Amino acid sequence: MLYRRRAEIVGGGFAGLSAACALAQRGWQVRVHERADKLRTTGAGIYIYENGLRVLEALGAYEAAVKGAPIAHTREVRDGSNRLLAVHRWDPSRRVFSIVRQQVINALAAAAERAGAEIVTGSEAVAVEPGGELLLANGERIKADLVVVGDGCNSRLRDGLGLLSTRRYLPDGCIRLLIGKTAGERSGDGGTTIEHWSGSRRVLYTPCSETEVYIALTMLHRDAVAKATPISREHWRRWFPHLEALIDRIGGEGRYDRFELIKLKRWSAGRVCVIGDAAHALPPNIGQGAGCAMMNALSMAVFLERHADVPAALDAWEQSERPLTEHTQRVSVFLGLPTFWPAPLRKLFFSVAGRSRWMMRQRTRMVDHVPLGTVTR
Ligand SMILES: Cc1cc2nc3c(=O)[nH]c(=O)nc-3n(C[C@H](O)[C@H](O)[C@H](O)COP(=O)(O)OP(=O)(O)OC[C@H]3O[C@@H](n4cnc5c(N)ncnc54)[C@H](O)[C@@H]3O)c2cc1C
């Protein structure tokens, strides 16, 4: 019987599930370990751009992932008095969907299982060795040809391997939640997202399904009143008086996360590779964290198909993919800077950034990239 290479994957998020699909589709015997009792993503909605959508297509998860989700066509930036500061219309040749996160996770999990991967929930990994040995919390030791570490920002396995180079907590963070659409919203334009600014606080309004709107409330990490959950409706109404009706629709839900930036010394050690936020978390200012995670998971499987030697394949993969990921990290951090600027300067920045072709090219380099492993590459 033909020997099938075996991969153990830690983490059932965007990174781990994409890797599971891509490897299983290429003949690997794959098992995903997710420590939670079910596949459950934190956050509420998500933007997935052309690059990430191409990966979902290649993985066979696209149709289910975008079902019922609106194509985002316009993004408005408004000030605290509801005055329009900037309008960006997405080029229709580059698709952008705003989607309920759980729907994408479910689509990836279904595609991985269809490709033959096994997903084990309630299975926590505690350590990994560069030789390909994975230790689970239940004491089981597993030897694999490849271990993929996709366990998110707080990755314990990455830290155990000594791969972390930079972990920078950024000065801002965000509360995310979903609210039900009103009758008017259900029949209205689902493709316009609006970012409202008031001082250093923001309300991002994004329709993300036929029935739900994704709300992201962004603030400085030191802003204890704004980052409290459940949110203080009284304060948010005062900061955004024109959004009173919207704020009143927010109940007790919502979760606060601080933004962070992660860089590694290397993305792999021997037969172990680190993917997704565990390897390269970035702030969400250009909505590319999951996009990068999915692209790099797919390209990793392609490199492993090209090179029989696992450590050599992982080296070649990192050399090929890391520059674009780091560019995306830099642009995303840069676009977060106006949060700390006075309102007039921020207004100037948005108007210049909105018109600058150079800025637009930097911002869309990832979106325009055709990911390795998708139809045309
Ligand atoms: C406010 C905000 C908005 C964002 N918006 C966007 C956006 O619009 N578009 C976009 O592309 N990206 C966005 N991102 C980024 C995106 O959410 C992340 O990049 C993405 O979730 C990373 O996926 P991951 O699989 O690497 O990690 P995670 O989603 O964190 O998944 C890790 C998984 O590993 C599991 N796990 C952890 N430890 C263990 C263990 N020891 N054993 C087994 N399982 C374990 C966890 O339970 C979890 O399921 C946003 C991020 C934030 C904070």
pLDDT on residue 41: 82
Ligand 1 centroid distance, CA of 333 (Å) = 18
- Asked whether residue 279 carries a pLDDT value surpassing 50, the answer given is yes
Range name among 11-25, 96-110, 211-225, 326-340 with the lowest pLDDT average: 326-340
Range list of β-strands (E), the chain: 6-10, 29-34, 45-49, 74-78, 84-89, 96-100, 118-121, 125-129, 133-136, 141-143, 146-149, 164-180, 192-198, 201-207, 212-220, 255-264, 268-269, 272-274
CA 17 to chain centre: 13
306: Cα separation from own chain's centroid = 27
Longest dimension (CA), the chain: 70
Mean pLDDT score, 284-290: 95
**13: its two tokens:** 């998020």
Q: Is 322 helix (H, G, I), strand (E, B) or coil?
A: helix
For residue 110, which amino acid is it? A
Which of 8, 10, 14, 135 has most ligand 1 atoms within 8 Å of its beta carbon, as the pocket-test mutant?
14
Residue 2: pLDDT band (50, 70, 90) is low
Relative to the CA of 39, which ligand 1 atom is closest? 49
How far is ligand 1, taken at its centre, from the CA of residue 5, in Å? 27
Ligand 1 site residues (CB inside 6 A) read 10-16, 33-36, 41, 43, 46-47, 124-125, 150-152, 156, 174, 176, 216, 257, 276-278, 284, 287-291, 293
DSSP for 229-295, please give it: SS--HHHHHHH-GGGHHHHTT--S--EEEEEEEEEES-SEETTEEE-THHHH---GGGS-HHHHHHH
For ligand 1, atom 26, the nearest C-alpha belongs to 276
Instruction: Tell me what the pLDDT averaged over the chain comes to.
Output: 94
Sheet holding 141-143, edge to edge: 125-129, 133-136, 141-143
Question: If you take atom 21 of ligand 1, which residue's CA is the nearest one?
Answer: 290
Q: Assess whether pLDDT exceeds 80 at residue 315.
A: yes
CB atoms near residue 240 (< 10 Å): 22
Residue 244 CA, ligand 1 centroid: distance in Å: 31
Residue minimizing CA distance to atom 42 of ligand 1: 124
Most confidently modeled range among 40-54, 175-189, 309-323: 309-323
- The whole-number pLDDT of residue 341 equals 84
pLDDT confidence band for 352 (50 / 70 / 90): confident
Distance 299 CA to ligand 1 centre (A): 18
pTM of the model: 0.96
Residue 120 bridge partners (DSSP): 33
pLDDT at 377 exceeding the cut of 50: no
Closest atom, ligand 1, to C-alpha of 277: 26
pLDDT at 360: 84
